[in-house]
Structure 1
Amino acid sequence: MNYTIKTEGLHCGHCDASVESALLNIAGVTDADADHETNTVTVECADEVTTDQLTAAVEGAGDSFKVVSIQAA
């Protein structure tokens, strides 16, 4: 399953790396690519990974990170 996550609060490469690392710690996530310039994150994961898990990982990676929307890609 592939998702595109629209975010708020990503301001630099360090922010991107924090979000990517948090997402890759979820069992079943095989790839995560955050882009602070567009405030989007693309995620590749197994079908059993839920959008709630993705949201929790992004928002847990930093105090200012927020998920605006998640769409299947």
Structure 2
Amino acid sequence: MKQTFSVSGMKCVHCKANVENAIKSVNGVTAAEASLEAANVVVDFEAPATVEAIRDAVNGAGRYELTL
């Protein structure tokens, strides 16, 4: 499943990498591509990954907030 989420708090390339790496650490995520300009991230995932697990990973990675 591919889904796009809004992410607030990304301001630089380092932030983008932090968000992508946090999402990729979730079991079942196959790809994550964040966009600073669009303030979002496109995530490709399958079970056992859940939207809640992805949100928790981003929210726990620093000053970022993923909204559904």
TM-score (norm 2): 0.90
Q: Could you tell me how far apart the structure 2 residues matched to 1:53 and 1:8 are?
A: 17
**1:31-46 maps to which residues of 2 (within 5 A)?**
31-46=31-46
Secondary structure at the aligned position of 1:41 is classed as strand
Percent identical pairs in the alignment equals 35
Q: Which amino acid aligns with 1:65?
A: Y
Q: Which amino acid aligns with 1:66?
A: E
Gaps of 5+ in 2: none
Secondary structure at the aligned position of 1:18 is classed as helix
Deviation at 1:47, TM superposition (A): 3.7
Deviation at 1:18, TM superposition (A): 0.4
- Of structures 1 and 2, the one scoring higher in RCO (CA 8 A, sep 6+) is 1
Q: How many residues align?
A: 68
Deviation string, structure 1 residues 21-70 (Cα, Å, up to 9, x no partner): 111111110000011111100000114321110100111111x211222x
TM-score (norm 1): 0.85
Q: Could you tell me how far apart the structure 2 residues matched to 1:47 and 1:37 are?
A: 29
Q: Which amino acid aligns with 1:36?
A: L
Q: Could you tell me how far apart the structure 1 residues matched to 2:67 and 2:45 are?
A: 19
Gaps of 5+ in 1: none
